[in-house]
Amino acid sequence: MESKAKILGHPIHPILIVFPLGLLATAVIFDLVGLVSHDPRWAEFATYLTAAGVVGGLLAAVPGTIDWLAIPRGTRAKRLGLVHGVGNVVVVGLFLVNWLLRRETPAAPPTGSVAAGLIGLGIALVTGWLGGELVDRLGVGVDDGANLNAPSSLSGRPATATAYAGQERRHFGQPAYAGAERRGRGG
């Protein structure tokens, strides 16, 4: 199922999610380094990373929602996408709480702030795995007909314009639907 929110032929959501994931994970690491080292600068850096990660998470949610709305109802992908999206809203909410609790004293965050970040990071690991499941197992956001010799997305040609001529990556053939089921639904 191809992404509905693209830029230069690529889905926007996976391009954007690397920023909040990286910023928020690094913020948690910086908080832990600050706790161990007793150097308040680490916690202050974590405060700014958290704020940027929350903004990035909200921005990544927009194309993610657009893509989720295009997934056919009654599918495993629709259910997993809902859990992925709601889970990520919870993650952003926890990091927002983290930031709100520490914004008055960025160099000395309260324990609840750091705890919210740790819980948020734990949930983000699960929702990130679910995102991988959506793409790698269920084909959400993948061009119909994608193959190892597909032309560049900048060429304007469909992925099916050049079929893979070498040995298949796997030792078994295409799945029974081979993408036709997805294209046949008009969405």
- Name which of 37-46, 61-70, 77-86, 142-151 the model is least confident about: 142-151
Question: Going by C-beta distance under 8 Å and a sequence separation of 6 or more, which residues neighbour residue 142?
Answer: 1, 2, 135
Nearest Cα to Cα of residue 96 among 82, 81, 80, 113: 113
The confidence band for 179, taking pLDDT boundaries of 50, 70 and 90, is: low
Q: What is the DSSP letter of 133?
A: I
Does the CA dihedral 38-91-103-58 come out positive or negative?
positive
Distance, in Å, from the CA atom of 171 to the CA atom of 102, rounded to the nearest integer, reads 54
Question: Which pLDDT does position 180 carry in this prediction?
Answer: 47
Report which DSSP code applies to 10: E
pLDDT for 165: 54
The per-residue pLDDT for 33 is 97
Tell me the helix, strand and coil percentages in the chain, rounded to 5: 65, 0, 35
CA distance 90 to 97: 10
CA 66 to each of CA 3, 11, 70, 141, 187: distance values in angstroms, whole numbers, following the listed order:
8, 11, 7, 11, 12
pLDDT grade for 172, boundaries at 50, 70 and 90: very low
* DSSP character at residue 155: G
pLDDT, residue 171, reads 47
Instruction: Please give the residue that has the higher pLDDT: either 184 or 108.
Output: 108
Residue 164 in this model has a pLDDT that exceeds 90:
no
Q: Which amino acid is at 120?
A: G
Pair of tokens at residue 106? 């960025």
